Structure 1
Amino acid sequence: MANSLFLPNHSFIAPPRLSASLPSKPLPLPRLGFSLNNSSSIISQSSRSGSRSRRASSFKSHLAPRDSVPPTNAKEDRTRSNVEASESGADQHHLPRLRTLLKVYKEAIFNGDEETVSEVEAKIEILENEKNKLVKKVSSSSAEITSGKEKFIRLQADFDNCRKRFEKERLTVRTDAQEEVIESLLPMVDNFERAKQYIKPETDKEKKIDASYQGIYKQLVETMKSLHVAVVPTVGKSFDPSLHEAVAREESQEFKEGIIIQEIRRGFLLGGQLLRPAMVKVSTGPGSKKAPVATEKSSGLPATAAGVEK
């Protein structure tokens, strides 16, 4: 009040009433007193309310913008989830926030601030949900990593098997192609060997022609050697049905039974694979009478005919 006076006893003096006549004796002034107990109670409630509002504002100031009221629609929830996923690696930031929450929570319980306690408990529940989501995400990621490793191992094994199979097929195709080419050249080898056996050059001109043919034949033989073509061993060797083809059997005083005594046509090997079996004559062992050993002239081809060396 503008006209009131503040007295030392904490009382207020009401202003005097104006009257038309002033008495000779002044009237006593009424006193409007306030109890110190009531005023201190009002001051205490006011300070408690102010302290509560300050704690609430202090609590809210410790919360990050994304820690406020939960989103009310699915779009905001998805946006918040994306932000949380992008900040999942910031572990050092969550620990101070949790400590701050616990500190505010203790103060709120001590002061009986139920509103702040509820807010802190809601925030702790949100953090617990975030933790559970992160645990599930880590478990799912670990399972995906394990599954990815297993798939990688299987793919690597399949790739190695495919590479080995491709290499094997490539070698098989190459070998088959070589076999076809060399088999087509074998009749030419036979003809050169027969020509050398039966043609006997007499004049210088015939000798020159024969030398030219033999030079070509020698070049062909060298080419076949470079392709790992080898002759099937025959005379003096035991008969092997996987390498030899028996076209005749004959008694022999020189060779035991089952030994090849003559080569009729040469056989060839490509590496370790048979190209053509050798046609041979096999001994049946010595007879009751001595039989002359077959000579080279009795065979279609000499046992040591020119060609690919044994």
Structure 2
Amino acid sequence: MNGDPNGSPDGVGDATIPVEVVEGEAHAGATDAATDAANDAATGAATDPPSAGGAVAPASETGAVNEAAADGELARLQARVEALEGEKKDYWDKLLRTAADLENLRKRQRRELDDTRHDTKQRVLKEILPVADNLERALAVSTGEPDAVLDGVRLVQRQLLQALERLEVVPIEAEGQPFDPNLHEAISQQESDAHAPGTVMTVLQRGYKSGDRLLRPAMVVVAKAKAKVG
């Protein structure tokens, strides 16, 4: 058998593979493996976030953490709602109590005002009734003499003025005084030589004051200057 020194013993020639081709295929295989490994690492990093220690946490654990946080927030909100409901009830109770206190205050003030009016009326009547009694006595003992009747009436008038003074009611002095629109009400004007113009010359009805308050003005006639003749 004549063998090929570079071939098989059988003389069948094997094709020779160049060294460059073998090295190229090996390099390509290594590159593809490195690319696949990089892609797998990137995909895993995007899917599972790293844990505090750098390890990737499973998705189930992340969901459990989020659910626990939501439950805690819900519990906090429910507690806040219950607290607000309690505050609302307290405020409502206070409002009702305040309204009741105000109503009781109004009723008490109304009663006090009625009592004050009643006491004032009684005080006035107690002062006036004796005057009416004396007037009846003066008329009963009258002998028909004008002077006796006049003296009795003057006595009653004096007693009445004293009663009014005790009630802090005083007459307004008007005659001979300058006309004051705050105290006097002019009924008419008359020419007069005896009175200066603008002076009260006659009092038709006496006015009265209670303290600094005017009960009624005095009705008066006011003097004016005589018209010039010619």
Is the radius of gyration larger for structure 1 or structure 2?
A: 2
TM-score bracket, normalised by the shorter chain, equals 0.3 to 0.5
TM-score between both structures, scaled by the size of structure 2: 0.41
